[in-house]
């Protein structure tokens, strides 16, 4: 069929709209958007971008199918559910912490109802959105006061700006970190209107380095968690307790950016030792900041706890309005924090913690279950259970590898990279690790109720 001939037979937009199949689309979407999609499909046919014309199916149906593909794309949610087979529990690219299913009702209610966000029900007068989280944060951490802002980067900026604007902030040269490419301590200090005063060296900063660095213009000491690197060998870090002593002596606030900021000491569960938020406050930090969506397991937020006189300055600061959190954050953070009243409850119900605590035996058992479910793929791939290493991610436990278990897939007929690509592009993207020439699915970060989806996706790409 010549192209010219083909064009002559293109049905009109109206005809397509009025067909039974067209009406079905209109009932699902709307007249307006279906018309737009049909026009796009027709344009594609005219320009030759859409050429899959078979003689089997009427042209109008092929055009409607094409229009439906457009509509599908247009109305698909932008954030897609994904399966994290990487073993990295806090994966910023994959949305960091999964919220606890136990906060779901609270989230829905906050999102779809009017609420007392800034309303005092008792007196019928205006309330403060910050009151919802302060009490529980103080109770859990033992701090005098608390404030929650948009994220930890904002928390650090606010603390610096409120306590040290136009003055000097002292930081160790070993702690001038860059996190995720856009959070760099020197830049954040500058952006907060403060001047950076570096002390010590990359590998060693002694208490006397801080003492010598303090001058007329010093307004704060900042300690930063080295979130994504570890300095090994000949090192000396000045501890929070040592810094607190110096800060108290000089009447300066000690600000501690803890990054992930833990409320539970996970050393009890086989992980390495990291200071908790309570440890830092007890050691004398005046202001501690940390993220809501790292190991804590809540929504994106920057949590600030510490001395009332400093937090009060932050509450009054102009920036606080610009960095404020919304009702869904307040609702889900409060509900997540409530789970921390009982440590066992928190471990059992908060996904980030739940993924960090299982024993190697439990992980092996889980991996065997997944392997068993994949036994139908024996002809298409070699499937095994192996030892592997997971990471906490999100700046907690830098450099630490936690022993874990994975199901590996060595496909026949396609390369390992091709398999990884196809799994990533499936209807539910599955992200794998490639190690030792095989695709690895680390079962630490895959929940049992996701196994059937993993199996389905693998069947799709291997069969």
Ligand X SMILES: *Cc1c(COP(=O)(O)O)cnc(C)c1O
Which segment (20-28, 147-155, 405-413, 418-426) binds ligand X by CB under 6 A?
A: 147-155
Query: Closest distance between ligand X and the C-beta of residue 339, in Å?
Result: 20
Q: Are 264 and 346 in contact (CB under 8 A)?
A: yes
Query: Residues 165-204 vs ligand X: string with x where CB under 6 A?
Result: --------------x---x---------------------
Select from 152, 205, 276, 388 the one that contacts ligand X (CB under 6 A).
152
Q: Candidates 215-223, 256-264, 351-359, 436-444 — which segment interacts with ligand X by CB under 6 A?
A: 256-264
The count of other CB atoms within 10 Å of the CB of residue 386 is 15
45 binds ligand X (CB under 6 A): no
Per CB under 6 A, 259 contacts ligand X = yes
Name which of 97, 134, 162 is nearest 350 in CA terms. Answer: 97
Return the residue of 263, 395, 404, 442 that touches ligand X, per CB under 6 A.
395
Q: How many residues bind ligand X (CB under 6 A)?
A: 14
State the angle between helix axes of 416-424 and 451-462 in degrees (0 to 180), rounded to the nearest 10.
120
Q: Per rule CB under 6 A, is residue 311 in the interface with ligand X?
A: no
The binder of ligand X chosen from 85, 298, 302, 306 (CB under 6 A): 302
Q: Which of 37, 83, 153, 334 binds ligand X (CB under 6 A)?
A: 153
Q: How far apart are CA 398 and CA 404, in angstroms?
A: 17
Point out the residue whose Cβ comes nearest to ligand X: 259
Beta-strand pair 178-179/88-90: unpaired
CA–CA distance, 414 with 423 (Å, rounded to integer):
12
The dihedral sign for the CA sequence 307, 218, 178, 174: negative
Region from 54-62, 219-227, 237-245, 336-344 binding ligand X, contact rule CB under 6 A: 219-227
Distance of CA 194 to the CA centre of its chain: 29
3-class secondary-structure state, position 170 = strand
Cβ 274 to ligand X, closest distance in Å? 12
- Give whichever of 170 and 441 is closer to ligand X, judged by the CB atom: 170
| One residue of 64, 224, 288, 335 binding ligand X per CB under 6 A | 224
Kindly state the DSSP code that residue 101 receives in the 8-state scheme: G
Neighbour tally for 241: CB within 10 Å: 13
Which of 268, 283, 249, 297 has its CA nearest to residue 394?
Answer: 297
Query: What is the binding site for ligand X (CB under 6 A)?
Result: 151-153, 179, 183, 224-225, 227, 257, 259-260, 291, 302, 395
């Amino acid at each position: 069929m010549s192209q010219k001939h083909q064009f002559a037979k293109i049905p009109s937009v109206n005809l397509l709209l009025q067909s039974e199949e067209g009406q079905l689309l209109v009932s699902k979407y709307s007249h307006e958007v279906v018309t737009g999609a049909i026009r796009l499909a027709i344009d594609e046919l005219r320009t030759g971008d859409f050429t899959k014309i078979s003689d089997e199916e009427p042209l109008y149906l092929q055009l409607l199918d094409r229009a439906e593909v457009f509509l599908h794309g247009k109305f698909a949610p932008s954030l897609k559910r994904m399966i994290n087979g990487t073993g990295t529990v806090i994966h910023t690219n994959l949305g960091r912490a999964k919220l606890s299913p136990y906060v779901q009702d609270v989230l829905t209610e906050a999102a779809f109802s009017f609420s007392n966000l800034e309303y005092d029900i008792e007196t019928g007068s205006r309330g403060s959105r910050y009151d919802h989280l302060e009490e529980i944060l103080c109770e859990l951490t033992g701090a005098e006061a608390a404030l929650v802002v948009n994220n930890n980067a904002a928390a650090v900026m606010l603390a610096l700006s409120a306590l040290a604007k136009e003055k000097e902030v002292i930081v160790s040269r070993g702690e001038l970190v860059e996190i995720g490419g856009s959070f760099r301590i020197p830049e954040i200090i500058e952006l907060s209107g403060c001047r950076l005063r570096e002390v010590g060296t990359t590998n060693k900063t002694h208490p006397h380095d801080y003492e010598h660095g303090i001058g007329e213009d010093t307004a704060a000491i900042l300690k930063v968690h080295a979130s994504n690197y570890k300095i090994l060998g000949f090192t000396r870090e000045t501890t929070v307790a040592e810094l607190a002593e110096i800060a108290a002596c000089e009447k300066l606030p000690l600000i501690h950016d803890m990054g992930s900021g833990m409320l539970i000491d996970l050393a009890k569960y086989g992980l390495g030792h990291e200071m908790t938020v309570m440890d830092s406050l007890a050691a004398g930090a005046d202001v501690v900041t940390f993220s809501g969506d790292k190991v804590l397991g809540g929504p994106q937020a920057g949590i600030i706890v510490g001395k009332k006189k400093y937090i009060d300055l932050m509450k009054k600061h102009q920036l606080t309005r610009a960095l404020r959190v919304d009702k869904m954050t307040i609702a889900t953070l409060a509900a997540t924090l409530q789970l921390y009243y009982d440590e066992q409850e928190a471990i059992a119900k908060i996904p980030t913690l739940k993924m960090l605590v299982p024993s190697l035996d439990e992980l092996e058992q889980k991996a065997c279950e997944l392997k068993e479910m994949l036994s139908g793929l024996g002809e298409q791939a070699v499937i095994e259970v192996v030892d592997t290493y997971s990471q906490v991610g999100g700046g907690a436990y830098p450099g630490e590898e936690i022993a874990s278990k994975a199901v590996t897939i060595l496909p026949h007929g396609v390369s390992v990279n091709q398999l990884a690509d196809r799994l990533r592009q499936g209807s539910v993207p599955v992200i794998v690790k490639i190690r030792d020439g095989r695709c690895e699915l680390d079962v630490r970060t895959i929940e049992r109720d996701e196994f059937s989806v993993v199996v389905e996706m693998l069947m799709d790409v291997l069969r």
